[in-house]
Amino acid sequence: MDYQPALLDLLYKMADDQFILGHRNSEWTGIGPILEEDIAFSSMAQDKLGHSLALYQLLHELGEAEPDTLAFMRNASQFHCCHLVELPIGEYEFSLIRHFLFDHAELLRFEALSQSTYEPLAKVAVKLKSELKYHVLHANTMIRQLGTATPESIERLQNALMNAWPYALGIFEESKWEEKLIAAHLFTGEIKLKQEWLDKIKTILAQTNLKLPDAATVNPALGGRVGKHTSFLQPLLDEMTEVYKIDPSAEW
Amino acid sequence: MWTSEQIWTWLEEVKDPEIPVLSLVDLGVITQVKINEKGKVNIVLTPTFAGCPAMAYMKKAVEESLQEHGISDFKVTLSFDQPWNSNRISEKGKKALQQFGLAPPPSYDRILDLEILEQAICPHCQSTNTTLRTPFGPTLCRSMHFCHNCHQSFEQFKPV
């Protein structure tokens, strides 16, 4: 299988995105601004950890290590997540905007992957996209409400959107395998995905008082896909693996 | 020896740990029961939600049920080959959910339009005058709603 390295790269970046954002979302458990949002972020965290497990499992079936080992025994430079998911949760409006920008991209990604010629991935994608619909529904509802509510809510969201924007563009960092993935119909590619995503984001934002930042003149935050991360990732990994590393052989 | 029909019957006794009135068969998570020529039983389960923490428990419960019926040569696996969706819940299962106080997921034809979430039927008074409060609830598979007729909150098993 000469497309194996390309496939591994694709699976790693998706699995790591889900895993890291899943953990970040879980940081809202118990401190959400209202009960429903606390539950929503906690539920999405749980979903995302499940999604990362399904993807790490696909990697394991291709000869990589066990899911727990992949999740808990790598250091930051071995992770392929984009910078957007690594950033601290910040104020609620930042987490909400991140969730809105990221989950729209994920839903489109898994819709595309449900047509992948790599059948095990296509089957997982069918499942995950059905769950991601709820994440997007939630994001759209909150963005529409708060994006038209008060001057303060609109200003806060607009600032969060401007801050998150370069990082959101970094989701679509191309890999060196891009042409191979497209030629083998494993995936439709990051450029096409980004265009579809911009169209969706634009449609929702047009229903609010929020302004879409320029995608052409802003430099995307790149490097995450090749193991170059923000200073936030390693401390996060240290924290989330602290208990596991005390005794990796422990039975739970 | 045993037949796959017998095994399906036994598995009706294995219940969802979070909804004890609903069997795994009616929930639709068992996608295959096969017995090979050597008598080995192969059972395939598919998760309701990829992150459902009850799946490991369900797998163990199926294994224990097989052992209780004297089967020792078996394999229970989790797979996405036939992904679960809420249309897989049987009519009997939907009735059980409603009696449990949980609105059953509405059936849909091929493509799920999430607008049907707004049309949840109150499991207490059968009113359709209800509002979706949030698509996330106490477990991954439940959304939360409010009934304007009997003024009660209720949960629905989410359509996916």
Q: Give residue A212's pLDDT.
A: 93
Q: What is the pLDDT of residues A213-232, one digit of tens each?
A: 988 889 999 999 999 999 99
Domains of chain A: 3-246 (1.20.1260.10)
Q: What is the pLDDT of residues B80-136, one digit of tens each?
A: 999 999 999 999 999 999 999 999 999 888 788 877 778 899 999 999 999 999 999
β-bridge mates for residue B42, sequence order: B34, B75
Identify whether residues B12 and B71 lie together within a single domain.
Answer: yes
The residue range of the domain holding B141 is: 91-157
Alpha-carbon distance of A180 to A118, in angstroms, equals 13
Chain A residue closest in CA terms to B47:
A127
- Is B39 inside any structural domain? yes
Alpha-carbon distance of A146 to A56, in angstroms, equals 36
Identify whether residues B110 and B73 lie together within a single domain.
Answer: no
Identify whether residues B65 and B98 lie together within a single domain.
Answer: no
Q: Is the pTM of this model over 0.95?
A: no
Alpha-carbon distance of A52 to A136, in angstroms, equals 18
DSSP B77: E
Q: Give residue A250's pLDDT.
A: 87
Identify whether residues B48 and B99 lie together within a single domain.
Answer: no
* A33, A35, A188, B153 from A30: Cα distances, Å: 9, 9, 39, 21
Cβ atoms of residues A187 and A181 within 8 Å: yes
- Cβ contacts of A126 on chain B, cutoff 8 Å: 80, 83
β-bridge mates for residue B134, sequence order: B144
- Is B107 inside any structural domain? yes
- Is B9 inside any structural domain? yes
* Residue in A36, A47, A123 closest to B49 by CB: A47
Identify whether residues B97 and B130 lie together within a single domain.
Answer: yes
Q: What is the pLDDT of residues B16-56, one digit of tens each?
A: 998 899 999 999 999 999 999 999 999 999 999 999 889 99
Identify whether residues B67 and B129 lie together within a single domain.
Answer: no
- Is B42 inside any structural domain? yes
Identify whether residues B136 and B102 lie together within a single domain.
Answer: yes
Task: Give A139→chain B minimum CA distance, Å.
Answer: 11
Identify whether residues B8 and B61 lie together within a single domain.
Answer: yes
Q: Give residue A1's pLDDT.
A: 54
- Domain CATH code at residue B46: 3.30.300.130
Chain B contact present for A131, CB below 8 A: yes
* Residue in A39, A42, A50 closest to B50 by CB: A50
Cβ atoms of residues B14 and B65 within 8 Å: yes
Residue B97, H or E segment: helix B91-99
- Is B143 inside any structural domain? yes
Identify whether residues B52 and B73 lie together within a single domain.
Answer: yes
Provide the domain count of chain B. Answer: 2
Interface ipTM > 0.90: no
Identify whether residues B108 and B64 lie together within a single domain.
Answer: no
The residues on B that touch A, with CB distances below 8 Å, are 47, 49-53, 80-81, 83-85, 112, 114, 117, 133-138, 140, 144, 158, 160
> How many other CB atoms sit within 10 Å of the CB of residue B88?
18
Cβ atoms of residues B128 and B77 within 8 Å: no
Residues in chain A predicted with pLDDT less than 50, given as ranges, are none
Alpha-carbon distance of A210 to A144, in angstroms, equals 9
Identify whether residues B9 and B74 lie together within a single domain.
Answer: yes
- Cβ contacts of A43 on chain B, cutoff 8 Å: 136-137, 140
Identify whether residues B100 and B67 lie together within a single domain.
Answer: no
